[in-house]
Amino acid sequence: MKRQEVYDNWKDKNRQIDTRRSFTDEVMDRVYQYQQDRSRRFFKFRWLMDLILEHPLGQAVFVVIGAITGLIRVAFVVCVFLGT
């Protein structure tokens, strides 16, 4: 066998690759699982938000927390400008 032929055959051999038959299915199972977990997390967050916002008291707490956070940020900016 000639040198070039050996080299080309060796390359062909290494180009062939055996993958598990179920490879694609295994990957897709993991993808679906990830997608499901993500949706579950999102619905948990939505559920919590709905729970808070459907009660007037929950809405009030939400607004107060927002207002306090806003005030703290404004106070922080003012402090930075005044250099204190």
Partner 1 sequence: MAVEETGVIHQVLRGDVDSFRVLVERYQKPVIRIIKSITNDSDMSQDIAQDVFLTAYKKLRTFDFARSRFSTWLFTIAKNKSLNALKKRRPVYMSRLPDKTYGRDPCDDLSCKELFDRLDSIFLSLPNRQKMAFILAEFENLPHAEIAQIEGVKIGTVKSRISRAKEKLRAALERLDGDIL
What does the alpha-carbon distance between residue 79 and residue 42 come to, in Å, rounded to a whole number?
A: 37
What does the alpha-carbon distance between residue 36 and residue 42 come to, in Å, rounded to a whole number?
A: 10
CB of 46 to partner 1, least distance (A): 17
CB of 21 to partner 1, least distance (A): 11
Contact set for partner 1, span 7-26 (CB under 8 A): 7, 9-20, 23-24, 26
What does the alpha-carbon distance between residue 68 and residue 46 come to, in Å, rounded to a whole number?
A: 23
Residues in contact with partner 1 by CB under 8 A are: 1-3, 6-7, 9-20, 23-24, 26-28, 30-32, 34-35
